[in-house]
Amino acid sequence: MIRQRTLKNVIRGRGVGLHTGETVSLRLLPAPVDTGVVFSRIDLEPAVDIPALSEHVSDTTLATTIAKGDCRISTIEHLMSALYGLGIDNVFVELSGPEMPLMDGCAGTFVFLLQSAGIEEQNAPKRFIRIKKPVTVKGPEGERWFDQSATLAPHDGFRLNHTIIYDNPVIKEQHASIDFSTTSYIKEISRARTFGLMQEFDSLREQNLAVGASLDNVVAVDEFQVLNDGGLRHENEFVRHKILDAIGDLYLLGHPIVGEFTGHKSGHAAHHALREELLQHTDAWEMVTFESADEPAPHLYAEIPAVEN
């Protein structure tokens, strides 16, 4: 049986939010079976809990933000990606502010925290969303994601394909395909950092965005080169980070996927539209478990970390 997972111990972290620039404390805690991922703003009185589900997404401008009433928590996609990559179903995420800390701009620090806390199997089957029919969304004319598209299609495992195209001589066009049966999430995806174009920086600051951005947490690109010391971690780090984001965004369906994702220039807005489109078409998916030891389960993770019972 493929079982649900949570953390073995509590773990803490601290960092700066990408867009708010605020220093935020983070605490990750074990959670019971069928809890899912629940974020909590403990700086508020009383604390506000927000489940990490598509229905709570309130904004997709350069990050995925969830909200309940006036309470917001933004930039959750990197932690969500790490949770997906390590197969963690149930966790409480406590925050002292309105935005997840960016750490070094990827999911690697969150992977380290989760592995340091320890991963524990629980006595309940993990539930998956198996895609039965293709579902596609395309950005409508006039929307800021009008030239983007995203698709979920049937596949016996979990595979992601992504293409990005930038009017920038450093980034240009990049494509990557990642199959969890052959690719290590930790080594090949989790360390890919978020990136930004220097010519857009002043405009973002005027909109109170990217206030916490620096060369410590963002890959900065001008018209000639990558400005960070040490350059890139992967030759195609830009598109790998887009895949990292897509994994985190897809996890707001509440369960991991048995299927294939394909994105063309897609970002958080397209991913949100894809989730909503899938949930509306109940004939396009089904909930499944793999409970029998004799039942062959598809490759759903590149690696399963050792668990402690």
Tens of pLDDT along 49-66? 999 999 999 999 999 999
Mean pLDDT value of segment 77-100:
97
DSSP letter at 9 equals S
Catalytic residue among 19, 264, 268, 271: 268
Task: Indicate the range of 164-168, 240-244, 305-309 predicted with least confidence.
Answer: 305-309
Inform me whether the pLDDT recorded for 106 exceeds 70.
Answer: yes
Strand 91-95 and strand 65-68: the pairing is unpaired
Task: Indicate the range of 86-100, 133-147, 151-165, 256-270 predicted with least confidence.
Answer: 133-147
Inform me whether the pLDDT recorded for 290 exceeds 70.
Answer: yes
In which element (H, E) is residue 93 found? strand 91-95
177-186 pLDDT, tens digit each: 999 988 889 9
Res. 309 pLDDT band, cuts 50 70 90: very low
Inform me whether the pLDDT recorded for 140 exceeds 80.
Answer: yes
For residue 301, the model assigns a pLDDT of 61
% of the chain at pLDDT higher than 70: 95
Of 278 and 208, which is predicted with more confidence? 278
For residue 212, the model assigns a pLDDT of 84
| Cβ neighbours for 17, distance < 8 A, ≥ 6 positions apart | 23, 24, 74, 75, 97, 98, 99, 100, 101, 102, 211, 212
Inform me whether the pLDDT recorded for 201 exceeds 70.
Answer: yes
Residue 306, burial from CB neighbour count under 10 angstroms (0-12, 13-18, 19+): exposed
Of 128 and 142, which is predicted with more confidence? 128
Kindly tell me the number of DSSP H helices and DSSP E strands found in the chain: 5, 19
Q: Is 264 a catalytic residue?
A: no
DSSP letter at 155 equals -
Mean pLDDT value of segment 79-83:
98
For residue 294, the model assigns a pLDDT of 62
N- to C-terminal Cα separation, the chain: 14
Res. 292 pLDDT band, cuts 50 70 90: confident
Q: What is the mean pLDDT of the chain?
A: 93
- CA-atom Rg of the chain in angstroms: 18
For residue 181, the model assigns a pLDDT of 86
**Sign of the four-CA dihedral 131, 249, 232, 118:** negative
202-238 pLDDT, tens digit each: 787 777 777 888 889 999 999 999 999 999 999 999 9
8-35 pLDDT, tens digit each: 999 999 999 988 889 999 999 999 999 9
For residue 289, the model assigns a pLDDT of 95
